[in-house]
Structure 1
Amino acid sequence: MGSSDHEDDRRDGEGEGGSSIEQIFESKEVPSWAGQLTLRAFAVSLGLGFLFGFIVMKLNLTTGIIPSLNVAAGLLGFFFVKSWTTVLSKIGFSSKPFTRQENTVIQTCVVASSGISFSSGYASYILGMTKKVAAQSDAGNTPINTKTLSLGWMIGFVLVVSFVGLFSILPLRRIMILQYKLTYPSGTATAYLINSFHTPKGAKLAKKQVASLFKWFSVSFVWAFFQWFFTAADGCGFASFPTFGLQAFKYNFYFDFSSTYVGVGMICPYIINLSMLLGSVISWGIMWPLIEKKQGVWYTAGGMRGLQGYKVFVAIAMILGDGLYHFVAVFAKTSISLIKNLRENRDGSRTDPLSLENDNLSYDDKRRIKYFTQDQIPMSVALGGYAFLAIISIIIVPHIFTQLKWYHILVIYLVAPILAFCNSYGCGLTDWSLASNYGKIAIFVFGSWVGMEKGGVVAGLAACGVMMSIVSTASDLMQDFKTGYLTLASPRSMFCSQVIGTLMGCIISPVVFWVFFYKAYPTLGEPGSSFPAPFGLLYRGIALIGTEGTSALPKHCLEIALGFLLLAVSLNLLRDMLCHFKISAHKYVPSAMAMAIPFYLGGYFTIDMCVGSLIRFIWEKKDKKKAEAFVPAMASGLICGDSIWGLPAAVLSLAKVKPPICMKFLSRSANAKVDGFLGG
């Protein structure tokens, strides 16, 4: 999900009282690029990388909705280093001043590390290869189309593919940041926050925000701990509370008391949460009960050839429709903007943005350009690094996934730089990364190329992983360059912190997934479990369509799916048309991607998120300024506390320690039967 702080980017050139940001910081020395890479920064980044990696993994394995955690990363980085320097000064040791450049390094490193939890696909394409997920669909459940997970090859794969994307876009950083002046809204908003933290007024506010974060962290952690006592078996505890009655509970409409998703709802835009609620009502409130009545007419089997097939493929259709529209729209917008920029450069109508003698440049611009251009990364490093890492990947990946051949990987690495540029450029314009869409295209292309008989399902999913890793890390790096440009952090320090953060993530992510989820929760990936990992089955469904076609779908499933694909395209088209004609109703057009997620999972988490939206709405009505300052901190605390309880809960599960109580809710007739049985 994109950041909800994009409105701040309009203020990136202003400080307190509307003055220039760089004039406020003029008296502060800017450290050298090596001086920005401190040991304490990486120590803090490692701890926060583990925390955020765990949070992102948990969110991936439950609903797949991941809010922007940049604010929390910047806030916590600020807090821990400030605490570090304060403690050292009290015991008589002096320490280097904490600068906004060092804060930027921490934020970059943490986000790069936790980003691997998403791009490494443990909740999507990797999980889609497993026998457990394959067993949920009849088609493609063969040895060559499945792969047994092990920690060794998972770490090896993510190490081999995650660094290549960093070199693919490196030579274009000056063009995209300085010449084309791309906005990168998330990167700009993050820079604004970091700059504000390090002004005298901003530092005081940051301390209050951190206090709020830790307060709600404690509340959330204690609440999660309390709930654990009542979950002795499946279907027990507050997470199975039939808030709206047992019939609504049967169709996944209930409030499950998850502070994680209340927090996520506070960060996500209102339209996203309401779109998911609408999707829940359409699917679980109307469609699935009606289709259930067609059992024996439209379908007779279970699994993917039954009701499950409708749930999975209608969700896939909406996701593909939404992704296809954004792919075309962003590509068109990118092409138009690129042609315009090239024409201006050729005609000489654009003043050289790199010239510090340019009178059109503000003081802030001149100072930022000076620091952004003084620490260059040689072209030979970018090209040589990409070629070297690509060769290693071409050699190693076919040994991990025997269904892929070396020439398949070669084709990916020949095409990937173009797609990485398109994604980075489009992300700079719209803040919309299409990495997962490029991955889905790779599933279709390489899955059909290899074919079902030769393991096309695994080949397509593995190719998706290679492509996603390149395209995703490339756009993330350019976002970080934009943040560094606005905080005077050196491009070299940004690149180094991205590399180190990626390395941390390549170790943290597979270990967290393997130890705390895959081994601790045997039902992971199964519908109705604590961690259903919906995207594992959805990605496998895409691979099955790519290799086998639609012959395995239940009756009328294809027609319904196509209808919802067209609905997704139509909603996006309607929103863009309303935006183009400046009609304010565009704010109320539902998001197709958000609507699709509950089609498979149900509405329980959407209730949580709407509660979060309601809290934010009431707070904004009472005190909008205070809400803007403290909603992200409160939300981050709720997410962190509940998610971190997952660590001791996983350890208890591994140690075979079970909760002592089962709190379960029964209907009156079921309760009478239980009483009769116990009485007998």
Structure 2
Amino acid sequence: MEHLFGRFYFDFSPTYVGCGLICPHIVNCSVLFGAVISWGFLWPFISTRAGDWYPPDLGTNDFKVSIKAIWNSSTKQQNLPVTKDSSESQVEQQKRDAVFLKDSIPTWFAASGYVVLVAISMATMPLIFPPLKWYLVLCAYIIAPALAFCNSYGTGLTDWSLASTYGKIGLFIIASLVGTNGGVLAGLAACGVMMSIVATAADLMQDFKTDYLTLSSAKSMFVSQLVGTAMGCIIAPLTFWMFWTPDSPYKAPYAVIYREMAILGVEGFSELPKHCLALCCGFFALALVLNLIRDWAPSKVSRFVPIPMAMAVPFYIGAYFAIDMFVGTVILFVWERVNKKDAEDYAGAVASGLICGDGIWTILSAILSILRIDPPICMYFGGS
């Protein structure tokens, strides 16, 4: 693997190639476009401003990495047009709609369940985390649905959930509101609440999408989700104690990072790198402009306009998966030109095989690692 610009490289991952086969061409191209802008130009340019825009002694994995999430979050909260798949016949689509909607959950039931959860959280969380007052819990639950929609839409586009990024919004807001009198603890607790809501919504959307495609029962899946959530209420606290013990062998490096972000929220944003707000506003405006063009321009023009939501993902996590996904879309593009019918029928099966095979290999790789068995050969491409 060759790091061209920071994290601009590819690792021949079958999983991401498979995702490229499934995702629409415009999504894959948008992801690659965002990777080129961020890791090809923007971050290398920012790195040359060390000592001017930010302290020069920060490492590549230092806390400044989390600053990217701040302006990324601002560019990911826009309403985007949905890409429709015209390859499926009308009859098949009507059948899928009928099966999926047969088990639809009434709106009043969903709203009532959310209200009950809000009430329970407002009553219990201040007892566990005293600085997190009940009205702050209420604010977190009011903000979370809008962020959950954004994350669910982005996950549907790219198969990548950025729940942690959206959770940082709650962290900074609540920590700054509480201030020095318990703001760190309150911000971290609010971050956990919002991350749970946002991540669960994205997972639920992915499962519902699977139900729709496989003609399965959405209600059965939802009940299974409830059972799993109930189990998590018991298993998660027990797992937490594995990390809470001072002499625990399991490290939690992100705990330090999130604590530093909470301290930043308490102390204010005066210590942020120079031009942070300008970059945030600039990319926010760019996202609005691109969405307006996609919504109002003729289809022959709008279909070539990149999707800001998909562009934003490489800014945060790196460009490595963007190239792999683009390889997948190139394979699908050529396949469609050679035999469009076979591409429509078998692309999903090929992608599933690549993703599942790569996932199963991680189990074997973990076993080999535990047994301390090293690969017989390691290949590396170095720069000239």
TM-score between the two structures when normalised by the length of structure 2: 0.68
1:462 alignment partner in structure 2: 189
Give the CA deviation at 1:389.
5.1
Note the alpha carbon deviations across 1:359-401, whole angstroms, 9 max, x for none. Answer: xxxx99xx9899769xx99x89985x66765555445544655
Residues 483-522 of structure 1: matches in 2 within 5 Å?
493=220, 495-503=222-230
Give 1:321's aligned amino acid: T
1:294 alignment partner in structure 2: 49
Give 1:266's aligned amino acid: L
Does structure 1 residue 321 correspond to structure 2 residue 75?
yes
Unaligned runs of 5+ in 1: 1-239, 243-247, 331-362, 527-535, 669-680
Larger relative contact order, structure 1 or 2 (CA cutoff 8 Å, min sep 6): 2
Give 1:409's aligned amino acid: V
Residues 31-42 of structure 1: matches in 2 within 5 Å?
none
Task: Tell me: CA distance 1:601–1:480, structure 2 relative to 1, closer, same or farther (3 Å).
Answer: closer
Task: Tell me: CA distance 1:575–1:369, structure 2 relative to 1, closer, same or farther (3 Å).
Answer: closer
Task: Tell me: CA distance 1:474–1:514, structure 2 relative to 1, closer, same or farther (3 Å).
Answer: same
1:212 alignment partner in structure 2: none
Give the CA deviation at 1:552.
1.5
The 3-state SS of whatever aligns with 2:9 is: coil
Give the CA deviation at 1:272.
2.2
Residues 139-538 of structure 1: matches in 2 within 5 Å?
240=1, 242=2, 249=4, 251-303=6-58, 312-314=66-68, 316-323=70-77, 325-326=78-79, 383=112, 390=118, 392-394=120-122, 396-398=124-126, 401=129, 403-409=131-137, 412=140, 415=142, 420=145, 439=167, 442-451=170-179, 453-470=180-197, 476=204, 480=208, 493=220, 495-503=222-230
Task: Tell me: CA distance 1:272–1:370, structure 2 relative to 1, closer, same or farther (3 Å).
Answer: closer
Give the CA deviation at 1:608.
0.9
The 3-state SS of whatever aligns with 1:590 is: coil
> In the alignment, which of 282, 300, 317 is matched to residue 563 of structure 1?
282
1:594 alignment partner in structure 2: 310
Give 1:404's aligned amino acid: L
CA–CA separation in structure 1 for the residues paired with 2:210 and 2:340: 28
The 3-state SS of whatever aligns with 2:76 is: helix
2:89 alignment partner in structure 1: none
Give the CA deviation at 1:585.
1.3
Contact 1:477–1:498 under 8 Å retained in 2: no
The 3-state SS of whatever aligns with 1:303 is: coil
Task: Tell me: CA distance 1:657–1:559, structure 2 relative to 1, closer, same or farther (3 Å).
Answer: same
Give the CA deviation at 1:656.
5.1
Does structure 1 residue 554 correspond to structure 2 residue 273?
yes
Contact 2:208–2:218 under 8 Å retained in 1: no
CA–CA separation in structure 2 for the residues paired with 1:369 and 1:654: 43
Note the alpha carbon deviations across 1:189-244, whole angstroms, 9 max, x for none. Answer: xxxxxxxxxxxxxxxxxxxxxxxxxxxxxxxxxxxxxxxxxxxxxxxxxxx2x3xx
Does structure 1 residue 628 correspond to structure 2 residue 344?
yes
Give 1:268's aligned amino acid: C
Residues 660-679 of structure 1: matches in 2 within 5 Å?
661-666=377-382
1:614 alignment partner in structure 2: 330
CA–CA separation in structure 1 for the residues paired with 2:110 and 2:6: 55
Give 1:567's aligned amino acid: L
Unaligned runs of 5+ in 2: 82-93, 243-247
The 3-state SS of whatever aligns with 1:588 is: coil
Task: Tell me: CA distance 1:646–1:504, structure 2 relative to 1, closer, same or farther (3 Å).
Answer: farther
Task: Tell me: CA distance 1:487–1:275, structure 2 relative to 1, closer, same or farther (3 Å).
Answer: closer
Give 1:559's aligned amino acid: A
CA–CA separation in structure 2 for the residues paired with 1:370 and 1:250: 47
Give the CA deviation at 1:566.
2.1
CA–CA separation in structure 1 for the residues paired with 2:114 and 2:20: 39
Contact 1:443–1:461 under 8 Å retained in 2: yes
Task: Tell me: CA distance 1:625–1:542, structure 2 relative to 1, closer, same or farther (3 Å).
Answer: farther
Give the CA deviation at 1:610.
0.7
Give 1:279's aligned amino acid: G
CA–CA separation in structure 2 for the residues paired with 1:622 and 1:612: 15
Contact 2:9–2:319 under 8 Å retained in 1: yes
Give 1:586's aligned amino acid: S
Task: Tell me: CA distance 1:552–1:406, structure 2 relative to 1, closer, same or farther (3 Å).
Answer: same
Task: Tell me: CA distance 1:401–1:620, structure 2 relative to 1, closer, same or farther (3 Å).
Answer: farther
CA–CA separation in structure 2 for the residues paired with 1:478 and 1:295: 41
Give 2:171's aligned amino acid: I
Task: Tell me: CA distance 1:293–1:372, structure 2 relative to 1, closer, same or farther (3 Å).
Answer: closer
CA–CA separation in structure 2 for the residues paired with 1:297 and 1:381: 51
Contact 2:58–2:64 under 8 Å retained in 1: no
Give the CA deviation at 1:660.
5.6
> In the alignment, which of 331, 334, 359 is matched to residue 643 of structure 1?
359
Task: Tell me: CA distance 1:250–1:596, structure 2 relative to 1, closer, same or farther (3 Å).
Answer: same
Q: CA RMSD in A?
A: 5.1
> In the alignment, which of 575, 578, 587 is matched to residue 294 of structure 2?
575
Give the CA deviation at 1:545.
6.4
- Highest Rg: 1 or 2? 1
Give the CA deviation at 1:613.
0.8
Task: Tell me: CA distance 1:623–1:540, structure 2 relative to 1, closer, same or farther (3 Å).
Answer: farther
Give the CA deviation at 1:599.
2.8
Contact 1:520–1:653 under 8 Å retained in 2: no
The 3-state SS of whatever aligns with 2:12 is: coil
CA–CA separation in structure 1 for the residues paired with 2:252 and 2:64: 22
CA–CA separation in structure 2 for the residues paired with 1:598 and 1:381: 33
Give the CA deviation at 1:655.
5.4
Contact 1:260–1:638 under 8 Å retained in 2: yes
CA–CA separation in structure 1 for the residues paired with 2:321 and 2:68: 19
Note the alpha carbon deviations across 1:165-208, whole angstroms, 9 max, x for none. Answer: xxxxxxxxxxxxxxxxxxxxxxxxxxxxxxxxxxxxxxxxxxxx
Task: Count the aligned residue pairs.
Answer: 356
Give 1:644's aligned amino acid: I
Task: Tell me: CA distance 1:634–1:466, structure 2 relative to 1, closer, same or farther (3 Å).
Answer: same
Give the CA deviation at 1:521.
9.6
Give 1:575's aligned amino acid: R
Task: Tell me: CA distance 1:370–1:561, structure 2 relative to 1, closer, same or farther (3 Å).
Answer: closer
Give 1:629's aligned amino acid: D
Give 1:616's aligned amino acid: L
CA–CA separation in structure 1 for the residues paired with 2:207 and 2:362: 31
CA–CA separation in structure 2 for the residues paired with 1:265 and 1:254: 16
Give 2:270's aligned amino acid: S
Task: Tell me: CA distance 1:386–1:288, structure 2 relative to 1, closer, same or farther (3 Å).
Answer: closer
TM-score between the two structures when normalised by the length of structure 1: 0.42
